[in-house]
């Protein structure tokens, strides 16, 4: 099964005929019930990251519950569409990007299932190369970029924004971590697909980021963005062959994965 985790403004994926499943986990309930439908011959489970009505801010999203619920439900490959700011004028609003790296600047978020057992996972390349290749090969998609994930819920100061840009980061977001590493710990393939909604505060003199503008830009692009995710799913092979995301080969875990 393929999973889709919708970001800000991306709260639905199927029509009224989709099945709705309520799930629970050892980490509490996920952000919302999971809806299940079919896309291009694939069974797909959709979960809105922030809840059905954006009840969860980036730092309060139940990431551990979300990823555990999808894995327990049978999901093994995930596309994670999200809204991002751009740290470079070359990537303006409306650009769609498949990042290949992330930098974590969050704090206090539950970012592991292994608080015991001495378990470590490789994370040098945080996104599944197989899923990335499928999405990045689509028309009008930018292949590659480093996404810095900040704590939120506030936006960056101009100084912070310029600092991130000076490090060579190209995208800024509030939810890409710990989602990606939790997927790796659960041995699920995971790739982010980012929609640029704004230029960050330090990129354009006199500009600043406002939530109302971010949501408006996302709404203008949501139809095409959903279509892009549909096309990415259609390009996924029927059988999972990726070994990059099997993080625990040869390791004894303190519990069984769901």
Q: Is position 198 annotated in a ligand binding site?
A: yes
For residue 172, count other CB atoms closer than 10 A to its CB: 31
Q: Is position 8 annotated in a ligand binding site?
A: yes
Spot the catalytic one: 17, 200, 213, 256: 200
Taking the CA atoms of residue 68, residue 74, residue 77 and residue 79 in that order, the dihedral angle to the nearest 10 degrees is -70
Rounded CA-CA distance 35/5 in Å is 11
Closest CA to 49 of 62, 36, 59, 38: 62
198 is catalytic: yes
Tell me which residue has tokens 């203008």.
220
Q: Is position 31 annotated in a ligand binding site?
A: no
Q: Is position 137 annotated in a ligand binding site?
A: no
Tell me which residue has tokens 């069974």.
43
Spot the catalytic one: 125, 198, 213, 256: 198
Q: Is position 200 annotated in a ligand binding site?
A: yes
Closest CA to 192 of 174, 209, 204: 174
Distances, alpha carbon 154 to alpha carbons 105, 165, 245, in Å: 13, 18, 32
φ, ψ at 131 (rounded to 5°): -65, -40
**Cα angle: 139, vertex 145, 147; to 5 degrees:** 125
With beta carbons less than 8 A apart as the criterion, state whether 175 and 147 touch: no
With beta carbons less than 8 A apart as the criterion, state whether 54 and 7 touch: no
Q: Is position 100 annotated in a ligand binding site?
A: no
φ, ψ at 10 (rounded to 5°): -115, 75
200 is catalytic: yes
Q: Which two tokens stand for residue 95?
A: 């650009």
Annotated binding site for phosphate: 8, 49-50, 175
Annotated binding site: 8, 49-50, 174-175, 198-200
Annotated binding site for substrate: 174, 198-200
Catalytic residues: 198, 200
């Amino acid at each position: 099964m393929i999973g889709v985790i919708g970001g800000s403004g991306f709260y639905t994926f199927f029509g009224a005929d989709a099945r709705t499943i309520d799930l629970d986990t050892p980490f509490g309930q996920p952000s919302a019930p999971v809806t299940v439908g079919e896309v291009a011959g694939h069974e797909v489970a959709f979960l809105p990251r922030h809840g059905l009505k954006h009840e969860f801010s980036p730092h309060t999203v139940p990431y551990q519950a979300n990823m555990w619920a999808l894995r327990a439900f049978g999901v093994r490959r995930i596309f994670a569409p999200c809204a991002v700011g751009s740290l470079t004028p070359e990537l303006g609003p409306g650009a769609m990007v498949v990042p290949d790296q992330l930098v974590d600047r969050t704090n206090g978020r539950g970012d592991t299932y292994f608080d015991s057992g001495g378990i470590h996972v490789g994370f040098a390349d945080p996104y599944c190369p197989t899923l990335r290749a499928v999405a990045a090969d689509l028309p009008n998609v930018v292949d590659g970029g480093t996404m810095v994930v900040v704590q939120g819920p506030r936006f960056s100061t101009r100084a912070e924004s310029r600092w991130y840009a000076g490090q060579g980061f190209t995208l800024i977001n509030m939810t890409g971590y710990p989602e990606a590493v939790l997927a790796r710990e659960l041995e699920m393939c995971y790739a982010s697909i980012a929609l640029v909604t704004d230029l960050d505060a330090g990129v354009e003199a006199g500009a600043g980021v406002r939530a109302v503008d971010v949501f408006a830009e996302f709404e203008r692009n949501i139809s095409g963005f959903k279509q892009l995710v549909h096309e990415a799913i259609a390009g996924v092979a029927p059988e999972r062959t990726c070994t990059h995301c099997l993080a625990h080969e040869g390791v004894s875990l303190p519990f069984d994965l769901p």
